[in-house]
Structure 1
Amino acid sequence: MKAKIKLEGLYEAGQGLEDLSKATQRGVLNRALKKAAKPLVDAANANAPEREGHRPPGHRKLKGSIEAIVLRGNAGKAAYAKAMRAGATKKEAGQAARAANRAAAGRGATATVRVRTTVPHAHLQEDGTVRHAAQPFMSPAFHTTKGITQAAVIADLKSEITKAAARAAKRALRKGGKK
């Protein structure tokens, strides 16, 4: 199942983000997105079916295997992929990526949070098979937490920016006192 949520109001929420270092910005965004996805992860884990009886060796549990990861992208990655699909060499694609990053000048970066499971049989449980009825766990979790997640991203982003700015100010004060 692939579903997208478009968020409005992120520009206002991220006002203090540009004052932070690039690494801190990445950390703030990762923490905020993972924290906002936690209700979805928890709901999907709660809905995940458990197998009764004997489990074959090497069979992993679906419940507890659901996690949130943050995928990062930028203009260069998109240009590289487009060039490679068009049949360019790696060198040419690398040049296209560098040119796109220079042209974007820091803009065009994306972050996607993906809630996934690490077991290979999850889609069979979610969608069912000819012999096994569907036992959806991810789609009901998505639909019940959709509104919570949207509001949580903005609230968590504001909170994380405030905390990171306070840490940066405290660090600058310590460095300034040592000189």
Structure 2
Amino acid sequence: MAKVTERVEGLADLDKVLGELGKATGRNVLRRLAVKRLEPMAEEARRRVPVEDSDLKDSIAVSTNLAGYAKRLNSRSKSEAQASMGPAGRGDGKAPPQGSLQEFGTVNHPPQPFMRPAWDSGKGELLDAIADDLWSEISKAAARKAKKAARLAAKG
């Protein structure tokens, strides 16, 4: 499977401001934003599942805890925060196998993609809204940090 990379220009200022908030706060801001923006795509993927398979539909989730294939794929990534959207494992940690079988097909079954069309239909909106959402999230995080600093200063 080919790795899909999208590029967003003009986020250098946002990165600088995120760095000023501190590593943990910046990471949490990015994670909240990723989950918020990927959830509509997850809903679209659930809607596009080609079979009435409640296990597969119910397994499609957004997470910042990478596991299995996503974890191996991103093991050398230098990203501060990562999120994934797709069929996820439950108790045994494995995603239902029918997800891959439906998406890519088999020798006897043609592909019926649902994840890629969900990504394609929502990626433009997701990428366009990232900068606006980031400024909003950064402002909220900065306000929380300032409030906490004032509270600590008042305690002396």
2:142 matched residue in structure 1: 165
Q: Compute the displacement of 1:13 (Å).
A: 2.7
Residue 145 of structure 1 pairs with residue 122 of structure 2: yes
Q: Compute the displacement of 1:7 (Å).
A: 1.5
Using the alignment, how far apart are the partners of 2:128 and 2:8 within structure 1?
A: 9
**1:62 aligned counterpart, secondary structure:** helix
Contact kept, 8 Å, 2:27 with 2:80, in 1: the verdict is no
Which portions of structure 1, spanning 4 or more consecutive aligned residues, are displaced by more than 6 angstroms? Answer: none
2:70 matched residue in structure 1: none
1:44 matched residue in structure 2: 45
Using the alignment, how far apart are the partners of 1:152 and 1:37 within structure 2?
A: 12
Using the alignment, how far apart are the partners of 2:80 and 2:8 within structure 1?
A: 13
- State the Cα deviation string for residues 11-30 of structure 1 (Å, max 9, x = none): 12334212212211111111
Query: What is the TM-score with the length of structure 1 in the denominator?
Result: 0.67
Query: What is the TM-score with the length of structure 2 in the denominator?
Result: 0.76
Q: How many equivalent pairs are there? A: 140
Structure with bigger gyration radius: 1
2:153 matched residue in structure 1: 176
Q: Compute the displacement of 1:39 (Å).
A: 2.2
Using the alignment, how far apart are the partners of 1:165 and 1:141 within structure 2?
A: 33
Letter matched to residue 115 of structure 1: M
**2:83 aligned counterpart, secondary structure:** strand
1:14 matched residue in structure 2: 15
Segments of structure 2 that go 5 or more residues without pairing to the other structure are 67-74, 89-95
Segments of structure 1 that go 5 or more residues without pairing to the other structure are 53-59, 72-76, 82-107
Q: Does 1 or 2 have the higher relative contact order (CA < 8 Å, sep 6+)?
A: 1
Identity %: 40
